[in-house]
Amino acid sequence: MSYKKPDNKDLEAMIGIVGKNYATANDAICASYLSKSVMGLESQIPDIVIRPKYPEEIRKILVYCSQEKIPVSPISGGLSGGFACPLIRPGGVVLDLSRMDRIIEIDTENRIAIIEPGVTLGQLWAYMHKHTPEYCPPIPDGAPPSSTVMGDAIDRGFSLVTSSMGPQGDIFMAAEVVIPRGDILYTGSWALPTAKPFYKYGIGPDLWSTLMGSQGTMGVITKVAIKIFPHPEHKTVVVWGMSNPQDMQNLTWQIGNQEFGIAHHCVMVQGGNYPLVMTRWPKEKVPHDYEFYKEIGFSRWWMNFEVWAQTQEELEYTEKRIDEFAKKFMESKECKDPKAIIKQELHPKQIASRLKKPNKIAIPYGYWEAGFLFITWYTPWKDCAEFAEMYNKVLEDHGIAPVMWIASIERCRQAICMPIICFDSTKQEDFEKVQEINRITTEYSIKRGWLNYRPDPYIHAPMMYSQAGTYLKYLREVKKMFDPNFIMHPGRLMLP
């Protein structure tokens, strides 16, 4: 596939659409978009940055770029952790949607918010906290407040209620999408102009799902209706520690597998191992000996159950039941190390800090060694311990700290497993090491039938699609239908 590098004439055409303040080929501005792509090992500086405000401007931009065969990559916040965001060759136009930041409606009766793609986590959280405090938006728990709700949902991330309410992709109800062939498409019940966005599967076969996880390769979403949730006052965090990932997996499954009742009260169920703690400190301050963590009360592995309830009674009952499950598990044959199953009593200040949203906990990861990467995988819940052991071993074999974070999706139906790879981004050999780790673990994971969250175009996508040829064939047909000249975010997902 060959593309045109945009020139001055193209820049003039873009200025004609959005105005001179909102389209530029200025070197410094274009280069600043590279530093946003903190999570990509390979990335490319865009040739032009355009900051549209209205769907009609985007429609004109896409029609023009499609005719000229100029690549276009949309970003909302540009902060997706993983490999989804950075531009790769051939660069082209970055469509920065941060000016489209209107919160159009908060409809508490139908539990829906209608927002534009540039609405950030911090913005929506603060707005609802002020105007509708009895409801909350489904923001991703640890993501930077300047990333967007839309960017997270289209990437199918995880939010503060994911263990109870399902994957973040499930929060979408309807969307307005600008298609490169020049149309504006409405999905879900919005396809019918008179309908509210109350039903996501639309008016017949569902087109929306083909846009989910598309990493900007199909079209540009300009408005979405997302679910919002009641925000009860009664909350706590219950933590159980253990010595190994199997006990973490199996105890947590006992609770998630209840499906009804207390499993629904556990809105965010996430855990990991003790090296997670040190990734938030500068490297020179990191104690390497486990004894240090033991003394300050960290088990080698642990699981946090964040509980939300409508009454204090419900809250206390849920905590009591979690504790009962842990005690019963300790006595069962399934438990590998009963002595290490310990309840971690949190100080009220620790509970308050974990309940604070957006919690910003992930922001300082870069302290450790300047480079960090989330390479996230989905596994069936009962495979997450095997994933953690396999990945941690490969990390340690390569001299990288075995940092593992695992969370439950939909009451332990799936696990989202996220090794946090901290490396020295000033060293070329560290980049090579990370690629090697990624290749080895991807080979293992694909054989085990696990799925990558945001497949990168060099390792995950080729290995994954080599096992799913018919799927890729139809995906390319869908892409052709929306984007006949293949201008959208080229290289992503091998499309093309």
Ligand X SMILES: Cc1cc2nc3c(=O)[nH]c(=O)nc-3n(C[C@H](O)[C@H](O)[C@H](O)COP(=O)(O)OP(=O)(O)OC[C@H]3O[C@@H](n4cnc5c(N)ncnc54)[C@H](O)[C@@H]3O)c2cc1C
Residues that bind ligand X (CB under 6 A): 38, 73-81, 84-85, 97, 117, 140-144, 147-148, 150-152, 154-155, 157-158, 168, 215-216, 220-221, 362-363, 365, 489
Residues 6+ apart with CB under 8 A from 450: 377, 378, 379, 383, 387
Give dist(CA 306, CA 293) in Å, integer: 22
Bridge partners (DSSP) listed for residue 96: 75
Which one, 79 or 262, has the nearer CB to ligand X? 79
Cβ-count burial of 92 within 10 angstroms (0-12 exposed, 13-18 middle, 19+ buried)? buried
Q: How far is the CB of 370 from ligand X (least distance, A)?
A: 14
Nearest in space to 34 (alpha carbons), one of 71, 76, 95, 85: 85
Which one, 208 or 329, has the nearer CB to ligand X? 208
| H or E element, residue 47 | none
Q: How far is the CB of 194 from ligand X (least distance, A)?
A: 25
Q: What's the one-letter identity of residue 130?
A: K
Q: How far is the CB of 354 from ligand X (least distance, A)?
A: 13
Give dist(CA 39, CA 22) in Å, integer: 26
Which one, 163 or 168, has the nearer CB to ligand X? 168
- Residues 63-86 as b/e (b if ≥16 CB within 10 A, e otherwise) read bbbbebebbbbbbbbbbbbbbbbb
Q: How far is the CB of 376 from ligand X (least distance, A)?
A: 9
φ/ψ of 232, rounded to 5, equals -70, 155
Which one, 79 or 185, has the nearer CB to ligand X? 79
Which one, 460 or 489, has the nearer CB to ligand X? 489
Nearest in space to 102 (alpha carbons), one of 152, 159, 148: 148
Which one, 163 or 250, has the nearer CB to ligand X? 163
Residue 493 φ/ψ region, left for φ over 0, alpha for ψ in the -120 to 50 degree band, beta for the rest: left
Which one, 23 or 75, has the nearer CB to ligand X? 75
Give dist(CA 329, CA 335) in Å, integer: 6
Residue 394 in contact with residue 437, Cβ under 8 Å?
A: yes
Rg value, the chain, Cα: 23
Would you give the end-to-end CA distance of the chain in angstroms?
7
Which one, 36 or 433, has the nearer CB to ligand X? 36
Q: How far is the CB of 417 from ligand X (least distance, A)?
A: 13
Instruction: Say how many C-beta atoms besides its own lie within 10 A of residue 16's C-beta.
Output: 12
Structure tokens at 274: 């003790």
Give dist(CA 284, CA 146) in Å, integer: 29
Q: How far is the CB of 210 from ligand X (least distance, A)?
A: 12
Q: How far is the CB of 483 from ligand X (least distance, A)?
A: 11
Which one, 83 or 308, has the nearer CB to ligand X? 83
